[in-house]
Amino acid sequence: MHSFGYRANALLTFAVTILALMCAMASFSDNLSHPSPSSSVQVLNVNWFQKQPNGNDEVSLTLNISADLQSLFTWNTKQVFVFLAAEYETPKNSLNQISLWDGIIASKEHAKFWTHTSNKYRFIDQGSNLRGKEFNLTLHWHVMPKTGKMFADKLVMSGYHLPKEYR
Amino acid sequence: MIFIFHIFLHTHPSEEAKKKKKMEWIREGVDSIKSIQLRQTLSQAVNLGLILTSALIIWKGLICITGSESPVVVVLSESMEPGFQRGDILFLHMSKDPLRAGEIVVFNVDGRDIPIVHRVIKVHERQDTGEVYILTKGDNNPKDDRVLYAQGQRWVQRYHVMGRAVGFLPYVGWMTIIMTEKPIIKYIIIGALGLLVITSKD
């Protein structure tokens, strides 16, 4: 009852239980913070807008993305993955989400940023529906914790239009 | 009665008496072995069985609750760094909610036996059937996952997806990685555990 084996077993079980409890509490503490992020995006230029040989429309944009995501960071935050998606509807598809740009914010200091960039990922439609298309630019963020539950949210910015003609 | 019996044995050892004595001795020996060793072995076997089946119940229960055939996975590659490192474990959940951009999904590709854990970057959802066509990419990879898909496959669909990553614990998965990459360690641990079970006093 008091051998080394029993004592080691009891100690190990207790240590693992306490560790698991601490991880759960750390994760729970994330629920107590109420973030208030803000963002704005401008489409500075439509670089080109073509129909590909396979029949799909493709457009290249230059964007100015600025955001303040500092309120998302808690002591249990490892990094925030942020991306900007163009979201629109077509006759064939009820929803299309195309990620145009993404970035990883590793610390609170870098969470207030702006970037002047062309789209990192190609904006290609399934079909030829983009002429004159009205679309939303939604900034999504995914918070990856040091331990525990991951959570995500987004900010929808609407009112963007693509040109009526190819160029 | 016994006194008389003993006197009978010691003073008149007949053929019948000798046989009876031998039978008794044999029966006593068998009884003693049976009572101690069999009971102990049986109770040890039942204990082991209880431990194994309760582990199985917990595992199957998790599969039911999370709706995913593999509720816990270990991160094996560096394609999602710095968020997920090799050796971290991910908790998966598969709800009926539609797949959306930004979610981290675990999916199978025909011809590959290890599932891939990457982020959804493009979603096209059909008006009529609600079927969804998604493109994935690892955060740390320069290009999207099309090169990893099966020959001729350009999109991942819902039936490929095993679950969404909803939670994460760092470092805990290293045991699994070590046991997979150096199987000798797995055999040593199982052997040691087996020895412990057999030699434990209760």
Whether A3 shows a pLDDT value over 80: the answer reads: no
Q: Which of A70-84, B6-20, B24-38 has the highest mean pLDDT?
A: A70-84
B3 φ/ψ angles, rounded to the nearest 5 degrees? -55, -45
On average, the pLDDT of chain B sits at: 82
Name the more confident of A53 and B34.
A53
Q: Write the DSSP string, B105-168.
A: EEE--TT-SS-EEEEEEEEEEETTT--EEEEEE-TT-SS-GGGGSPTT---B-GGGEEEEEEEE
Q: How far apart are CA A62 and CA A46, in angstroms?
A: 6
Q: For residue B121, which residues of chain A lie inside 8 Å, CB to CB? A: 83, 98-99, 102, 121
pLDDT of residue B6: 52
Backbone angles phi, psi at B181, to 5 degrees: -85, -25
Chain B residue numbers with beta carbons less than 8 Å from the beta carbon of A100 are none
Q: Which of A3-12, A91-100, B14-23, B117-126 has the lowest mean pLDDT?
A: B14-23
| Residue A35, both tokens | 């973030």
CB pairs under 8 A between A and B: 80
Residue A27 with chain B: CB contacts under 8 Å: 167
| Bridge partners, B137 (sequence order) | B119
Is-catalytic flag, B10? no
* The pLDDT of residue B189: 78
For residues B131 and B157, the answer to whether their CB atoms sit within 8 Å is yes
The pLDDT of residue B38 is 82
- Please say if the pLDDT value at position B58 is more than 60: yes
pLDDT tens digits, one per residue of B88-125: 989 898 888 899 999 999 999 888 888 899 999 999 99
The residue that leads in pLDDT, A59 or B187, is A59
- Catalytic residue of the set B68, B88, B145, B160: B145
Place of tokens 């600025």: A66
Asked if A125 and A56 touch (Cβ cutoff 8 Å), the reply is yes
Q: Higher pLDDT residue, B26 or B36?
A: B26
Contact yes or no for B124 and A96 at CB 8 A:
yes
Is any Cβ of chain A less than 8 angstroms from the Cβ of B125? yes
Q: Give the tens place of pLDDT for each residue, A23-76.
A: 889 888 888 888 889 999 999 999 999 999 999 999 999 999 999 999 999 989
Mean pLDDT computed over B123-129: 93
B190 vs A97 pLDDT, higher one: A97
ipTM surpassing 0.90, yes or no? no
Q: What is the pLDDT of residue B151?
A: 87
Q: Inter-chain contact B102–A121, Cβ cutoff 8 Å?
A: no
Q: Which secondary structure element, helix H or strand E, spans residue B54, and what is its range?
A: helix B39-66
Active-site residue, B79 included: yes
**CATH architecture of the domain formed by A34-161:** Sandwich (2.60)
| Per-residue model confidence as pLDDT tens digits over A122-156 | 999 998 988 999 999 999 999 998 888 888 999 99
A87 pLDDT above the threshold of 90: yes
Q: Is B43 a catalytic residue?
A: no
Q: State the DSSP code for B37.
A: I
Whether A78 sits inside 8 A of B83 (CB atoms) is yes
pLDDT above 90 for A104: yes
Which residues on chain A place their C-beta less than 8 Å from a C-beta of chain B? 5, 23, 27, 78-79, 81, 83, 85, 91-99, 102, 104, 106, 121, 126, 140, 142, 144-150, 152, 154
Per-residue pLDDT at B154 exceeds 70: yes
Mean pLDDT for all residues in chain A: 91
